[in-house]
Structure 1
Amino acid sequence: MALQRRWISFAAAAGVAVSLLPSSAKAAAGGVSFWLPGIFGSLAATPTVPGWAYASIYLHLQANAGATQNFVTSGGGRGSVVTGLSAHGDALALAVIYTSPTPVLGGQAAFSIITAPGNVGVGIDATLTGPRGNAISGTAIDNRTTLSDVFYQGSLKWNQGVHNEMVYIVGNIPSGTYDPSRLANLNLGFVAYDVGAGYTYLDPKAGHEFSIVGGLTYSLENPFLQYQNGIDFHVDWAASQFISKNVQIGVAGYFLQQITDDSGPGAKLGGFRGRAIGLGPQIGFIISMSKEYQGYLNIKGYKDLEVENRASTWSTWVTFVVSPAPPEPAAKPITRKY
C-alpha cells in the first residue's frame, strides 16, 4: 500500500483542473462544450494523501473548422452564424486542492478550486446571418489576454485493493470577464454543472493501471447569446505502465457525445449535436522534494480522430502538482533468537 500511495498521490490530483478551454465560445454554440475532453486521465479514481495540494496545468489548444462548417458565436450580435472558425489558446490553470483525513461515507473527500489566466486568438470567415437574419460577409480576427471562470470540484473516492471508485461534481462561478462583443473569451458567459463517476484499476506489483471516468454536463442558458447547450455525455480513459516506481508511460483518450439538442432563440443551427473522439500519448514522473512533499510532472497530448458539429482540435497538457508525500513504512522491530 505504501508503494501504491507513492505512485498515485499526485497523478490523481492532476485531474482536478477542469473546463479550461481557450476558444471563441466555450459552448456548443462555438462547436465546443463546457467539458473539455481529456480532463481526467490516469489514476483518476485513486485516493490520495490527505492534506493540501497545489497544481498548475499549462494547456495549449489549437482548434480549426473548415469553411463549410457553421457555428454560432457571440461576436457580431446575439447568435450570429458564421462559416469557418479557427482558434488557438494558451492557459495556465492554477488549482488548490484539499483532501480530508476524515472519512465520508466510507470514502475520501476532496475539494478543489481552479482558475486560469490565458491568451485566446480567434478567426472566422464569411458571416452568413446576423442576429435578425441580416446577411453579413467578411472576416474577423480577435486576440485577448483574460481570465477564465472560477471552477470548483468535489469528489469522493474509495479503495479496495487494486480497485478504486470515485464520484464527483464540477461547476463554475462566472468571473465577470465574458465580453459578448468579443470573439475571444476564456470565460463561459453561463453557468454549467457536471456530475459523474470513475474507476481505476491499479496493480502496484505489476505496475498496470487503467482508468475510466464518465459524466453528464448540464448548462444553463447563455443570456448574451440566448443560447442553451444540450446535455453532453463524455468518457475519459487512460492506460499506463509504471516502468519504475517513479516513471509511467501510456496512452489516453476521450469520447464526447451531445445527447439532447441545443435550444433558445439564439440556436439558429437547430439541434447542433456535437461529437468528438480523441487519442494521444502520456508520460509521468514522480519527483521527491522533501520528507513532507513530493512533485508529480505529467505531459500528455490529444488529437481529435473524429468530430461532428465541433471544431477539430489538438492539445498539449503539462501538469505539475505538489502534494503531501506518503508516510514512510514503519521500520520492522529487531528480534533476537537465543
Structure 2
Amino acid sequence: MTRALYPWHSAAHCPACATAAHLRGACEGGGEPLRSRPDNAPPHRRRALAFGLAMLAALTGQSATVLGGEGGTSHVIPGANATLADLPPTTPGVFFKPMFLRYQGEASAQIPTAAGIVANVHATVETLILGGGYTVQPTLLGGAHYSVAAFLPYSWMDISADSEALGGIGVQSRVSGFGDLTVVPVMLAWKPSDWQYDFLLPIYAPTGSYELGRLGNPGLNYWTFDPIVGAAYSGAKTGLNAAIHLGYAMNTENPDTDYRSGDLLHVDASVQQIFPLGSGYLNVGAEGWYFQQVTGDSGSGARLGDFEGRTAGIGPVIGYIQPLGQQKLVLELKWLPELETRNRLNGDYLWLKAVYKF
C-alpha cells in the first residue's frame, strides 16, 4: 500500500486551519518521484494551470476596498485557507497544526471599536494559534473523508489611535490574551482522482478576552458561522497544485455594543508547484483572496452606518514537505500584503504554519 506524502491530506481553516495533503503517485507513497514541470505539459495539466491562474487573476484583478465590520475586522482572516497546508485531510489519523501570524497595519479613517469611534489607527498584532484534529477511518456520503478540528489563538496587541470621545486625544492599548476558539465539527473531503472537493463548517465562539471600552481586544465577543465549499487539483506526476474555496461568514450581534457586523462572502485561492529537494519536497507559489461584505452592519451601535467594504490581495507562498518515517512534517511561510483597503486597517499578513501528522 502506498503512503500519502502530505501529513494529512487536507485540513481545516484558520484560525481554524487544519491540514492538507495532496499529491498521489509519489505522494501516496511508493510511486514514481514527483517531477518538476515537463517540457510538454499534458492537456489536463495545462487546464489545471489555467484554472489556477484564472482564479488568482479574478481574485486580485478587482479594486480592493476592504472588509467592514466592527473594529474593521472579522473572524475570517486572509491567509487562513487555500494552500497545501490548509486543505481538509484525506488520510485517517491525528494531525497537529501550530501557526504564527503577524499583522501590521494602519488606517486614517474612522473605525468603530469597543472603545468607541477612533481614527489614525496603528496596530501590530502577533498571534500564536495551536490546534489540530482527527480524521476517522471509514468514509461516508459517497466516499467522503470526515474530520473534526479545533484551534485556539493567543494574541499580543499594540494599538494606538485618536479617540473621538476624548476630542481626538491619542490612546494606546497594549494587551495580550486568548482569542476566540474555532471549532470545525464538520470537515468533508472527497478525492476520487487528482481533484478534491471539500465542505467545511468553521464556528468561531466568543471565548476570547474582551472588555468594553478597551481599544484592543483579542476576542470579538460574537459568534461567526462560516460554511465553506472548495475544489483543489493536485497533479500526481507534475507537482502542480491549485485550490479555490468559497465561504459565507454569518455573524451574530455583539451584546456589549449592540453592533452586528454584516455577512461576509470570501474567496481564497492558490497555485503552487512542487519540486523534489533533498529528502523532501519544496513548494513555491502564490495565494490570493477577495472578501466582500454583502450585508451592512446594523444595531444601535453601528454609528457609521452600513460600513460595508471589501478587500483583495495576493502574495508569495513557500513551503517544504519532509517525510519522517511513517509521519510527515509540512512547513509553510507566506507574506500577504493588502492591495488597498477602506473601512479598516491597511497592512501585511505574515504567516508561518506547520502541520505534523501522527
Common fold by TM > 0.5: yes
SS at match of 2:238: coil
Question: Residue 74 of structure 1 corresponds to which residue in structure 2?
Answer: 114
**Aligned partners of 2:121 and 2:75: how far apart in 1?**
18
**Aligned partners of 2:13 and 2:94: how far apart in 1?**
13
Question: Residue 61 of structure 2 corresponds to which residue in structure 1?
Answer: none
**Aligned partners of 1:222 and 1:74: how far apart in 2?**
10
**Aligned partners of 1:260 and 1:189: how far apart in 2?**
19
1:5-24 → structure 2 map (5 Å cutoff): 5-6=4-5, 8-10=6-8, 12-13=10-11, 15-18=12-15
2:181 to 150, 154, 161: 150
Structure 1 residue 27, shift from structure 2 partner: 7.4
SS at match of 2:97: strand
Q: Report the AA paired with residue 18 of structure 1.
A: P
Question: Residue 59 of structure 1 corresponds to which residue in structure 2?
Answer: 101
**Aligned partners of 2:132 and 2:265: how far apart in 1?**
27
Kindly provide the CA deviation profile for residues 50-100 of structure 1, in whole angstroms up to 9, marking residues without a partner as x: 11111100111112112xx1110112xxxx222221211111100021111
1:250 to 269, 277, 285: 285
Question: Residue 276 of structure 1 corresponds to which residue in structure 2?
Answer: 311
**Aligned partners of 1:205 and 1:19: how far apart in 2?**
30
**Aligned partners of 1:193 and 1:256: how far apart in 2?**
16
Q: Report the AA paired with residue 57 of structure 1.
A: M
SS at match of 1:266: coil
Which is worse superposed, 198-207 or 242-251?
A: 242-251
Asked whether the 8 Å contact 2:7–2:95 carries over to 1, the reply is no
TM-score, normalization by structure 2: 0.80
Asked whether the 8 Å contact 1:47–1:158 carries over to 2, the reply is no
1:310 aligns with 2:344: yes
The structure with more radius of gyration: 1
Q: Report the AA paired with residue 113 of structure 1.
A: A
Question: Residue 157 of structure 2 corresponds to which residue in structure 1?
Answer: 120
C-alpha RMSD over aligned residues: 2.0
Asked whether the 8 Å contact 1:46–1:158 carries over to 2, the reply is no
SS at match of 2:70: helix
Change beyond 3 A, Cα 1:235–1:205: same
Q: Report the AA paired with residue 231 of structure 1.
A: D
Unaligned runs of 5+ in 2: 18-66
**Aligned partners of 1:269 and 1:171: how far apart in 2?**
27
Change beyond 3 A, Cα 1:303–1:267: same
Kindly provide the CA deviation profile for residues 195-246 of structure 1, in whole angstroms up to 9, marking residues without a partner as x: 1101101111011110000100110000111100011000011100011261
Q: Report the AA paired with residue 127 of structure 2.
A: A
Structure 1 residue 121, shift from structure 2 partner: 1.1
Identity of aligned residues (%): 26
Asked whether the 8 Å contact 1:11–1:296 carries over to 2, the reply is no
**Aligned partners of 2:275 and 2:234: how far apart in 1?**
14
Asked whether the 8 Å contact 2:201–2:225 carries over to 1, the reply is yes
Aligned residue-pair number: 303
Question: Residue 96 of structure 1 corresponds to which residue in structure 2?
Answer: 132
TM-score, normalization by structure 1: 0.85
**Aligned partners of 2:348 and 2:15: how far apart in 1?**
17
